[in-house]
Amino acid sequence: MRKSHSSNNGFSLTEVLLAVGIITVGMLFIAGVFPVGIHFTTIASERTIAAVVADEAFAKVRLYAIADPCSLLDDINFSQLRVDQLVDFNNIANINPFEFAYPSDPNMDFLLKQFYWSALCRRVDPDPNSRLVQVTVFVSRKVGSGSRFRRRDLFAPPSFTIVPGPVPVPVWINVSQPVGFNPSTLLVSDADPADGISEITFINDGYTIVDNVTGQIYRVLERDAAMPDMIVLDRPWQGGPTGSVWVVPPPVGGGRYPCIAIYQRVIRF
């Protein structure tokens, strides 16, 4: 009886190519998912830290708002607060600029810190005896050691000055609501068209803005490609037909949006 011989041939070319194709698709999938995972992990970490920075910022604002028995340099000028307008906390309180950086370690070089905060204040009640103040805190990341940011000149508005150091700060921008358009749209305009600074570029997709009158917070869903001075908000605009909003602009010369999150509380000064 003849014995049958089993076939010991290797894989065919088709099988090898199919296996290589499967491995290639798998590697491409992993290569695509891995950066996305890093991105979302970074965002989650920044937002977690931002909440801690905001808590510390509110505590510092409350600390500096305590009425001292004598006229000390760290007192807040409460008379400058208004009901119908947000005021930069830095302009009403005599506070060390290093206090606006996190971690709040005095032994750590200011330029090495990675997070910064700014605050806007508005009186809640027109009653002169009321000490309730709406405090809006902007928490921003460091986007580069060489980055520079603009701030409205306190003594010559609407001109800009350059903030010393890589510290992002909010600035106010003029807006208006166009007639006949979606109630969620706004038009952005330059306060001083002659200065050569395009304030339209200060607000872009995904940015967060704050109404200068009420302190209401809006998220920008889109800046129109055909009309770059028009932005679309996440909800209808509750302000007047003309007004202004606060936003943390990108660095001078362009770059990553520095603002991580905005927090708001009512504090008794």
The secondary structure of the chain, three-state, reads: CCCCCCCCCCCCHHHHHHHHHHHHHHHHHHHHHHHHHHHHHHHHHHHHHHHHHHHHHHHHHHHHHCCCCCCCCCCECHHHCCCCCCEEHHHHECCCHHHHEECCCCCCCHHHCCEEEEEEEEECCCCCCCCEEEEEEEEEECCCCCCCCEEECCCCCCCEEECCCCCCCCEEEEEECCCCCCCCEEEEECCCHHHCCCHHHHCCCCCEEEECCCCCEEEEEEECCCCCCEEEECCCCCCCCEEEEEECCCCCCCCCCCEEEEEEEEEEC
Asked if residue 187 belongs to a domain, the reply is yes
243 plus 259 within the same structural domain: no
107 plus 205 within the same structural domain: no
The residue type of 196 is G
| pLDDT, position 73 | 53
| pLDDT, position 138 | 97
41 plus 99 within the same structural domain: yes
32 plus 86 within the same structural domain: yes
Say how far apart CA 98 and CA 109 lie, in whole Å.
10
| pLDDT, position 249 | 93
Q: Using an 8 Å Cβ cutoff, are 86 and 135 in contact?
A: no
pTM listed for this prediction: 0.81
98 plus 43 within the same structural domain: yes
Asked if residue 140 belongs to a domain, the reply is yes
Q: List the domain range (segments joined by +) for residue 45.
A: 14-152+255-269
> pLDDT (tens digit, 0 to 9) for every residue of the chain, 269 residues total?
555 555 556 667 676 677 777 887 777 766 666 565 665 566 778 888 899 999 999 999 988 876 665 555 556 777 788 999 999 998 888 788 888 999 887 788 877 888 999 999 999 998 888 889 999 999 999 887 788 888 888 777 778 887 767 789 999 999 999 988 899 999 999 988 888 888 999 999 999 999 999 999 999 999 988 999 999 999 999 999 999 999 999 998 888 899 999 999 999 88
Q: Using an 8 Å Cβ cutoff, are 188 and 203 in contact?
A: yes
104 plus 63 within the same structural domain: yes
50 plus 138 within the same structural domain: yes
Q: Using an 8 Å Cβ cutoff, are 220 and 210 in contact?
A: no
266 plus 141 within the same structural domain: yes
29 plus 93 within the same structural domain: yes
* Structural domain count of the chain: 2
Q: What is the CA radius of gyration of the chain?
A: 26
| pLDDT, position 63 | 85
